[in-house]
Amino acid sequence: MDEHTDETESDWRSQSNERDESNDTPSLSRRTYCKALGAVGLAGSASIPEPVTAASGIHSVGNGSYTHAKPSGEDEPPTTLYTTGNVGGPMPSNDWWSSALVTGYSENLFFHPGFALADGTGLQVGHPTTWNYPGADAKMNVERDFTLGHTATTFADTRVDGYSDWSVTLKWDTGTGTTLTASLTKGSPYIFCEYDGGGAELEFRTAPTVWDDRGNVLGLTHDGKHYGLFAPSGDDWSGVGSATLTNDLTGGYVTIAVLPDGTSSTLDTFEQYAYNFITDTGAGDATRVSPTYDQAAGEVRTTYSFNTTTKPESQASGTITGLYPHQHKYLDDSTLAYTYECPRGTMKTTSGSSFTTTHPFRGILPFLPDEGSYDSSELSSYVNEVSASYDDSQGSGTYWTGKDYGRMAEAAPIADQVGNTSKRDALHDAIRTELEDWLTASNGESENLFYYNDQWGTLLGYPDSFGAASSLNDHHFHYGYFVRGAAELARNDESWSADSNWGGMVDLLVRDYANWERPNGANTQEPADNPADSFPFLRNFSPFGGHSWAAGTAEFADGNNQESSSEAIHAYGAMVQWAVFTGNDEMLNWAAYLYTHEMLASMEYWFDVDNQNQPDGWDHDTAGIVWGDKYAYGTWFSSDSEAIHGINYLPFGGHSLYLGWDADLAERNYSEAVANDDNGGAWDYWPDIMWNYRAFSNVSDAKDMFQSAKNYTPEAGETKAHTYHWIYNIDAMGNPDPSVTADYPLAYAFDDGTETTYVAYNGEDASITVTFSDGTSLSVPANSMATSTGDSSDPSDTTAPTTPSNLSSTGHTSSSVSLAWDAASDSGSGVDHYNVYVDGTRSQQVSAGTTMTTVSGLASGTTYDFYVTAVDGAGNESGASNTVSVTTDSSGNSDYSQSATRIDGSDGDTAIDELLFEFVSNVGSDWVDVHYTVNGGTQYNYRMNNPSGDTHTLDTSPDYVVGDFSSGDNVEYYFTYEKNGGANDTEWFSLTY
């Protein structure tokens, strides 16, 4: 959901029982629509108690303040929430399951690979597998296969009983001890259910084909979709051969699995994990995301963890989960052979208690440098035209106010570059004056202020825009612009951004759409005193989906939706800048994660960068809106192709350079816009937005269009100065180069085909050296931007880096040795790479930022000597580290190969403190156990996972009994593996951690 007021056609919410014929584009204007949606959300069970009224009054935060008294006549979110006593504290919104909070049951919940819908009979379940193309949409079929109900009764409502980062537990309760709970997890093929007062009843549309009947376990197919039913041992299913299957469930639980195929071997595998329940009970830890922004390596590593409760029938640890393309393309772990097709493309599967992805963090810039080939006097004239005052011609709400902050924040640095300091200061003063007005509330004030709603844990700005108050829509879009304006002020005035001045209130706006701390619902909610516990965790962002959702209550048959992927990316880019300029490293860690994932998800699902995720049968290559079950070539406000494409380009700035990573993609996307434009590319809706994007695929064409239409009206968040500056900087520097990262967040490299331009902005109070991944170093003064071209290594640098230290072996096999060491440093051109030597001969080169490697291709049963050196950007090589002698394993036993490798436990630190055991069976072992001791202590024994063929793995994180390992720990281990039905033990192996 996003901006503007144009009306579109078709019903905004399906009324059909199956919810399979809807088109969720509203026929109402945005403002009228959102008021209607808010009214729908207020309808609910009269038995649900009203929330406690919040205390009134003004609460100060530094020089700013907010109010607990809602201005008279203004909207706020639904006050009737369908939750149990397990759920408290600031209420999450904008999720894939949010409709369950406000409707009494739910709309379709797309957990992928399946979908579900709560109603009075229980949970309707289906598995979308085929595409259809209503209107301009590509939509996966949404059709119920069966209803999962209770043998004893139907229910008056469904309530949220618990939730965590990407899972939710729903509860049906009569109040007489007859209950049903169902736990759904994004990406999980499993639905975990528990029953009291009766058993399970599955009512299919037609009788399914049961192809494997094991009594308590069934494998079946309905309408080409495959399912596994897993009841407790001894609880057999009745009704096989009919459309109704029942089970008394004396054990009280059952798992339903969406299967990738209808084979008994697949049923075997899914049965192993089916009794490991992912259930949210209010603790909020069933699913958890843990990101780490490794600034030195220019990477964001993200670990997704599952906390399961095992039933007696469990046969393996962890769970099976399906991964979206933005995950499996960057996966550190192995995958299973099973795949699913879903509305986001192909899901690959993995197993275990966690998995980790590693994405490059390619940086952002607060503005582009002064490298353009533009006419300086012409640029200066455009700077003079920029209005240095708040422009409310589009409206006065939170969205349009924010757009104006963005407009002025992008123009102010250009004014500085052309030497117009008076215009720069005037723009800053205008942002400051308007922001401070909004960030201050007073008794009796009714507009330009923020009101704290403690039921939802949200700051609502009045006047709001597009349902931001009534339905909690679009907070990241709106408040992201506020944060962008604040970041521009903080870049120039550190004192303004102090918590004791205005920074505290800006932090609260960030927390409203992206609170990086999980609140404790038992603690007092008061943003002024306890900000971490006053907002839900990551309101807008879906940790597993990899992108944000815009609709707060998600009352749509097609699930939740997001239109402007680019404005979401802008919000997290603004968060990155604010974190850097205010020195908030914890916020920066999360901001880098949010920005990286939102941007890559945009490339995968809105732009379909590899032509793999959107269906071949669709007539379009671009999604204007991404929904839970479909792609829409449209917007909420206009059917003009400029709007459809442009809403996923704007606003342009140093956060949007990702749009130029792939010139072929930029050409393809732009060409589609031209082909669908009524004027054939003679842009008249948002011409400057289209020209800015065109610069990435044909900068000469962009220049020509700008020069031939200089009397155009800029888009509300743009200026002629910024558009001219943008196009001609891209002309001078070339497109941004995605192959180069940096060890500082505000840095970028551009490549015009003949040379590379390196750009970095230093947001610190002292000069820094920014090192790029290609070895180039750039010295940047405090609070300044610097650029260089080509190789900027200092030829006068003749000092070698310090010597790498503490080299150790972290594991070995019969043909490889794994090594780790402590990093070297270099005060000149910076460490460029490490050389690894084997028996005195250089074996490999390891890039800077990485202090571990594996040397392969070694002979078995042979002793080798290893040492490491560091090399800086000028080519100076350090002395050798300590030498480590390692003997590779004997290859006498051909049944297997094995290794134990040091890994990061991803438990809140960045230390290498855990182990990954790997056993590759050459005899087709059905199972493998690992046994190990630490420093001669207790022996620990675990069944290993089998994620990929004959490769069995187990990592000791999160904290398998011993907790984190420490340097010097002696770990001894052996394996027991299955061979021809028998158990075989390997020899003992050992390593020093």
Cβ-contact 5, 394 below 8 angstroms: no
Which is it for the CA torsion 645, 648, 653, 658, positive or negative?
Answer: negative
Residue type, 337: A
* 474 noted as active-site residue: yes
Question: CA nearest 166: which of 597, 602, 613?
Answer: 597
Catalytic residue among 24, 137, 512, 563: 563
Catalytic residue among 512, 567, 642, 955: 567
3-class SS of residue 420: coil
Give start and end residues of each alpha helix (H) in 94-166.
99-102
Cβ-contact 953, 947 below 8 angstroms: yes
Question: CA nearest 888: which of 917, 863, 853, 852?
Answer: 863
Cα–Cα distance measured from residue 183 to residue 109, given in angstroms and rounded to the nearest whole number: 12
Residue 616 CB coordination number (10 Å) = 8
Query: ∠ at Cα 181 (176, 187), nearest 5°?
Result: 170
Phi, psi of 759 (to 5 degrees): -130, 135
Question: CA nearest 706: which of 416, 675, 721?
Answer: 721
Phi, psi of 54 (to 5 degrees): -70, 150
3-class SS of residue 216: coil
Question: CA nearest 348: which of 334, 335, 358?
Answer: 335
Phi, psi of 674 (to 5 degrees): -65, -45
Catalytic residue among 107, 474, 677, 715: 474
Count of positions (residues) in the chain: 993
Q: What is the CA radius of gyration of the chain?
A: 29
* 764 noted as active-site residue: no
3-class SS of residue 454: coil
Residue type, 975: F
* 563 noted as active-site residue: yes
Cα–Cα distance measured from residue 842 to residue 56, given in angstroms and rounded to the nearest whole number: 71
Name residues whose C-beta falls within 8 Å of residue 874's C-beta, 6 or more positions apart in sequence.
Answer: 793, 794, 795, 797, 798, 828, 829
Cβ-contact 355, 166 below 8 angstroms: no
Cα–Cα distance measured from residue 841 to residue 846, given in angstroms and rounded to the nearest whole number: 15
Query: ∠ at Cα 433 (432, 439), nearest 5°?
Result: 80
Question: CA nearest 229: which of 260, 183, 270, 199?
Answer: 270
Q: Which residues of 687-712 are buried (b: 16+ CB within 10 A; e: fewer)?
A: bbbbbbbbbbbebeebbebbeeeeeb
Give start and end residues of each alpha helix (H) in 602-698.
641-646, 663-676, 687-694
- Which residue is listed with tokens 């029953």? 195
The catalytic site residues sit at 474, 563, 567
